[in-house]
Chains A and B, each alone.
Chain A
């Protein structure tokens, strides 16, 4: 039957056509494709390896970072503590100084006041003395203006002296 008998003409062309296709693909297409696939596969493998490596590196870096952070935190804590202490100290000192200053100021103010007062007192005393002298002068002027009065006063003094 014709259906299952290979036709020579068709077979002939088939060998040629398939041969050409096979030759062209094997010669021009597959080397390019194979090479591209290979390089891509290598690249992917390399990339995966790199990714793995980078991942590990990242992990170690993270661990380092963690440590650094911890250290930094501790340092900060220490610094803060120190700062707190020194601040307290400074405040304390400032307070002390302020107190001293105040005391000194008060003291000097008191002294000044005392001096002022003393000076004022002396002035007043002098003034009073002056006024007293002037009053005494005036009184004496008036009481001893006459000779009689002078005599009388002298007598009185003598009397007094006698009595003593």
Chain B
């Protein structure tokens, strides 16, 4: 237990250090006017390649595959093609037509793969490329599965013996989610139906939050700070809540008890409010997680960017600022560690509460 704690602390400290170095190196090479906003937004958003670091003016990138579908045909190619040229021309093997792909630097489809028509108009294809975020998501999912595989193995091997090492760390969290989140929000009879989802969601968010805090490859992608991820998780919660909801739950929505009749008829005010509530609840879940994690990333990057902003004015100022910023970044990263846990907890807790409300049995 004690070793794990040490390893985790050490790795975070090292990552903080390397993270600052890594950003510093990348920025130093670009000699151009430093635009903090752009750098930050670029990190927060997705991209088709994974910029690892820049070494002596040479960018070391992981070029990820682009997978697009257009008019029923799939095209797969490496994003490296856009590293050398701005557009990529390929031929459709069946029809023999040529098709031009490009990543515009600005405009409506900024930094997205588009098909450039003959007349110069851009069209967005059906794009399921393995982007930086998707790749990072695969990595974190793999890590999550491997960790759970090890833990499950430990449970198989150790049987009824007391947990040890990684197993005890996971057991602490699993038991916490089970006893302090799920069992408190959901009735005893129903809790086992929802528990697998709650534990999965908790670990998924927690691990992705933590990995977002580690700035070196293959971590540091802004996964839980991406609205698509949080929306997906919120939709899972939404569907599970409403599909497993019992009669009482729907009765509460469409015929809310304890409310004067004129709020239901002729204008069904309460049902409308309740129905809207069904959608706002998961929506709030998605926005909360997205905003918290993105904000954390922005703050850390903001402090680091301030070093370069000051350094552009004077080198000495940049040196002084780097010490100051580093302290602030370490401080913010410590808070982000807390946020990583709290947000995983809050998402799980609120999901559990919604499940509890949807599966509650009234005793009239």
Contact = CB atoms under 8 A, between A and B. Distances in A.
B122 interface: no
B350 interface: no
Interface residues on A, range: 20 to 34
Contact of A22 (B149, B155, B200, B290): B200
Interface string A1-33: 011111111111111011011101110111011
Interface in B219-245: 226-229, 231-233, 236
B29 to A, nearest CB: 26
Contacts of A11: 228, 231-232
A40 interface: yes
B27 interface: no
B117 interface: no
A9 B129 contact: yes
Interface string B115-156: 000000000001111110110011001001100110110011
Contacts of A14: 134, 137, 228-229, 232
Given A18-B236, A29-B152, A33-B174, A13 B130 contact: yes
A15 B228 CA distance: 10
Contact of A8 (B127, B141, B174, B175): B127
A21 B144 CA distance: 8
Contact of B149 (A2, A10, A29): A29
Given A21-B204, A39-B160, A40-B160, A26 B128 contact: no
A30 to B, nearest CB: 5
B131 A10 contact: yes
A145 B273 CA distance: 188
Interface stretch (B11-19, B40-48, B72-80): B40-48
Interface string B254-298: 000000000000000000000000000000000000100010000
Contacts of A24: 145, 148
Interface in A36-68: 36-37, 39-40, 43
A6 B149 contact: no
Interface residues on B, range: 35 or more
B141 A36 contact: no
Contacts of A20: 141
B195 A30 contact: yes
Nearest to B175: A37
B196 interface: yes
B197 to A, nearest CB: 7
A3 B156 CA distance: 44
Contacts of B96: none
B171 interface: yes
Contacts of B24: none
Contacts of A40: 160
Contacts of A7: 46, 226, 228
Contacts of A22: 196-197, 200, 236
Nearest to B192: A34
Contacts of A8: 126-128, 228
Q: Which of B45, B199, B233 has the most CB of A within 10 A?
A: B199
Contact of A9 (B128, B160, B236, B290): B128
B302 to A, nearest CB: 15
Contacts of B294: 3
A37 to B, nearest CB: 7
B231 A6 contact: yes
Contacts of B138: 13, 17
Contacts of A3: 41, 44-45, 227, 294
A18 to B, nearest CB: 6
A31 B294 CA distance: 35
B212 to A, nearest CB: 15
Contacts of B141: 17-18, 20-21
B110 interface: yes
Contacts of B137: 10, 13-14, 17
B84 to A, nearest CB: 23
Nearest to B203: A25
A156 B231 CA distance: 184
Contacts of A6: 227-228, 231
22 contacts: A2-B110, A3-B44, A4-B227, A7-B226, A8-B126, A9-B131, A13-B128, A13-B138, A14-B229, A21-B204, A22-B196, A25-B199, A29-B149, A30-B195, A30-B199, A32-B152, A32-B156, A33-B171, A33-B174, A36-B156, A36-B159, A37-B171
Interface of A: 2-15, 17-18, 20-22, 24-26, 28-30, 32-34, 36-37, 39-40, 43
Given A10-B131, A10-B134, 8 more contacts: A3-B44, A7-B46, A14-B137, A14-B232, A26-B196, A34-B195, A37-B171, A37-B174
Nearest 4 Cβ contacts at the A-B interface:
A6-B228, A26-B196, A36-B155, A11-B228
